[in-house]
Amino acid sequence: MKARAGAALGALALLGGCVSPPPPRVVEPVVATPQPPMPPPMLASDFEIDGALEQGGWIRGRVPRGAARLAFGEVPVTLTPDGRFFAGIDRDAPARLRLTATSASGQTAVRELAIAPREWRIERVDVALRGSVPSETFMAQRRPELAAIAAARAVRSDSQGWAQRFAWPATGRISGRFGSQRIYRGVPGAYHSGLDIATGGSGAPYVAPADGVVVLAAQGPFSLEGNLIIIDHGMGLNSAFLHSATLAVKQGERVRQGQVIGTIGATGRATGPHLHWSLMWNGARLDPLLFLPLR
Ligand SMILES: [Zn+2]
């Protein structure tokens, strides 16, 4: 650089131009670049954890300071700006699961969690499992229903319902429990994916158990679910309410905990009027009873 400047000055001199003396060199003050302080190590003991650490349960917590990402097992978990999170524990979760927090620089803190096993209600029946190949007529109706359910469950709203204490959507007899399963001559059927509440008839109103956004309100009854409402509670947690007689909300609507969202019925595949409530988080099926106060 200096050499080139000198050459340029020389060229000007040769051309006979008037060359003023070079300006005095400005000496830049030397400023020491401040080194960022080393971040304190993330400690697994700094995880804050609350919840029901059992199959079908859930975790609410906070990551250690400095964590930029979190995984539960292999599943990435969303963090709020202040480091809080929600994670669901699948009905068939293994006995141990890990929370792994990772900082921006790649440092990790791992918290091992013991997940208590459940004793699911298993009924063995001496009946063959019915043929499971659905007809093309049925599938022609079913495919768009399944697509609508998958699209609704993929919606991620900014609802804060996930952080609330859940409330009972209806009072009534528990007519079916989450996780129960029939085994047909040794062949397991699908387990019951929700909590059934029966009020002894149709027409009783039920309410949102927590704040949320209605991501599906199927008024034309779906073949199995009937009139179906799905509510997103934020952070990947959503509720589905099946078999409604009527719906009181529309897709896209924000609902508050305790707000009437529908009435109990027997639409779709139901043996009698009841509310089937299921909870899912990132594909994991959760037990609604573990979110509710005892009654
Ligand atoms: Zn049910």
pLDDT single digits (tens) 163-181: 999 999 999 999 999 999 9
> How far apart are the CA of 177 and the centre of ligand 1, in A?
8
115 C-alpha to ligand 1 centroid (Å)? 25
Classified by CATH at the fold level, domain 122-291 comes out as: Glucose Permease (Domain IIA) (2.70.70)
- Ligand 1 centre to CA of 193 (Å) is 7
Are 227 and 221 a contacting pair, CB within 8 Å? yes
For the chain, give the mean pLDDT: 90
Q: How far is the CA of 182 from the centre of ligand 1 (A)?
A: 13
Closest CA to 50 of 154, 171, 164: 164
Which CATH code for domain 44-114? 2.60.40.10
Residue closest to 88 by CA, chosen among 66, 110, 72, 64? 72
Report which of 92, 146, 122 is spatially closest to residue 284, judged by C-alpha positions.
Answer: 92
pLDDT digits (tens, 9 = 90+) for 226-247: 999 999 999 999 999 999 999 9
Q: What share of the chain is helix, strand, coil (3-state, %, to 5)?
A: 15, 35, 50
Q: Which residue has the tokens 């909870």?
A: 279
Average pLDDT value for residue range 19-48: 75
Neighbours of ion ligand 1 (CB under 5 A): 176, 194, 196, 276
What tokens appear for 230 in the block? 């799905």
CA 42 to ligand 1 center in whole angstroms: 43
Query: pLDDT for 75-124, tens place per residue?
Result: 999 999 999 999 999 999 999 999 999 999 999 999 999 999 999 999 99
Cα of 281 to ligand 1 centre, how many Å?
A: 18
Rounded to the nearest angstrom, the distance between the alpha carbon of 155 and the centre of ligand 1 is: 23
Which H helix or E strand runs over 112? Answer: strand 108-114
Residue 132: pLDDT band with limits 50, 70, 90:
low
The whole-number average pLDDT for the span 63-76 is: 96
- Determine the Cα–Cα distance for residues 134 and 142; give it in Å rounded to an integer: 10
Q: Are 213 and 252 in contact (CB under 8 A)?
A: yes
Question: Hey, what amino acid is at 131?
Answer: G
Expressed in angstroms and rounded, the spacing between residue 192 Cα and the centre of ligand 1 is 6
Q: Where are the domains of the chain?
A: 44-114, 122-291
